[in-house]
């Protein structure tokens, strides 16, 4: 895992945005794997600003998102479909029919999950996957204990993830209990991965990731086996690593 240490959230967002732009310039018909949540919003802002300024084209790009809640309407304010439109797709020239999220109406693991796996395969696989990390080490919505061999399917959200995401809902009771998520094996097939980590809330999990073993209890730890992962982490996210180790090895 290559570590890029940056000062703050804004610097992380810029570095990540630059990597996405570089990818799209190198390969205009790239397949981008995209994430939602608080972490990548700054990166999306950077991409939108760049688009306005430099007209970087996304016309041939396909996107596949990591996950979607189950049980929310697609236009519900908290749905990831709406998040993607508002944060990115409505502001660049990506073709909406080339943007994909796993289906929110998914009721059975198999059909929806397999459909999404087939879609990714038919697009030729993911060129660049953007990831955030949960405070419990999840990637996508693959919670601790998920098999590293998992493929896309319906998952149950842990209490800690529902609590972490309750900030977007009126109350914790409104946070869906299930989601459909790209599997860990699916994520690992991506040719390149950008893992973005910002803020003190992620400092403990980042410490565990960087110093601990590869273990299904920490889903993100499998990324250490991937050949092309860039971790972009800010000073706050690295604070526990620094405190415990004095320095960070790159």
**Given the rule CB under 6 A, which residues bind ligand F6R?**
35-39, 66-67, 132-134, 138-141
Polymer length of the chain: 250
Helices (H), 7-75: 9-26, 41-54
Q: Which of 112, 117, 127, 143 is catalytic?
A: 143
Distance of CA 52 to the CA centre of its chain: 24
Smallest distance from the beta carbon of 181 to ligand F6R, in angstroms? 7
Q: Which of 65, 87, 136, 142 is catalytic?
A: 136
Q: Is 143 a catalytic residue?
A: yes
Output 138 or 235, the one with its CB closest to ligand F6R. Answer: 138
Q: Beta-strand (E) ranges in the chain?
A: 2-6, 31-34, 62-65, 67-69, 99-100, 128-131, 153-156, 178-181, 192-197, 229-234
Output 67 or 236, the one with its CB closest to ligand F6R. Answer: 67
- Residue at token pair 């310039």: 25
Q: What are phi and psi of 171, to 5 degrees?
A: -155, 165
Output 121 or 200, the one with its CB closest to ligand F6R. Answer: 200
Q: How far is CA 17 from CA 8, 43, 44, 60, in A?
A: 14, 5, 7, 18
Q: Which of 65, 138, 142, 236 is catalytic?
A: 138
**DSSP code at position 157:** P
Output 60 or 188, the one with its CB closest to ligand F6R. Answer: 188
Output 167 or 250, the one with its CB closest to ligand F6R. Answer: 167
Alpha-carbon gap, residue 144 to 136, rounded angstroms: 7
Q: Is 204 a catalytic residue?
A: no
Buried b (16+ CB within 10 A) or exposed e, 70-105: bebeeebebbbbbbbbebbbebbebeeebbbbbbbe
Smallest distance from the beta carbon of 133 to ligand F6R, in angstroms? 6
Q: Is 178 a catalytic residue?
A: no
Catalytic residue numbers read 67, 136, 138, 143
């Amino acid at each position: 895992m290559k570590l890029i240490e940056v000062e703050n959230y804004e610097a992380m967002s810029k570095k990540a945005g630059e990597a996405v732009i570089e990818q799209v310039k190198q390969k205009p018909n790239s397949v981008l794997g995209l994430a939602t949540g608080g972490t990548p919003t700054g990166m999306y802002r950077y991409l939108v600003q760049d688009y306005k300024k430099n007209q970087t084209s996304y016309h041939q790009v396909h996107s596949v998102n990591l996950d979607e809640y189950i049980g929310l309407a697609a236009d519900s304010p908290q749905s990831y479909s709406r998040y993607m439109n508002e944060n990115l797709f409505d502001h660049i020239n990506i073709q909406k029919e080339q943007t994909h999220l796993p289906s929110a109406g998914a009721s059975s693991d198999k059909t929806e999950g397999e459909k999404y796996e087939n879609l990714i395969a038919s697009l030729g696989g993911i060129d660049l996957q953007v990831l955030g990390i949960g405070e419990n080490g999840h990637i996508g919505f693959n919670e601790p204990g998920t098999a590293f061999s998992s493929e896309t399917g319906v998952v149950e959200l842990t209490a800690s993830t529902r609590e972490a995401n309750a900030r977007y809902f009126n109350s914790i009771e409104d946070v869906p209990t299930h989601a459909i998520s790209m599997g860990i094996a699916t994520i690992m097939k991506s040719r390149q991965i950008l893992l973005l980590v910002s803020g003190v809330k992620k400092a403990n999990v980042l410490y565990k990731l960087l110093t601990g073993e590869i273990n299904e209890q920490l889903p993100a730890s499998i990324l250490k086996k991937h050949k092309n992962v860039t971790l972009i982490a800010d000073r706050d996210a690295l604070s526990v690593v620094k405190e415990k180790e004095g320095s960070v090895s790159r």
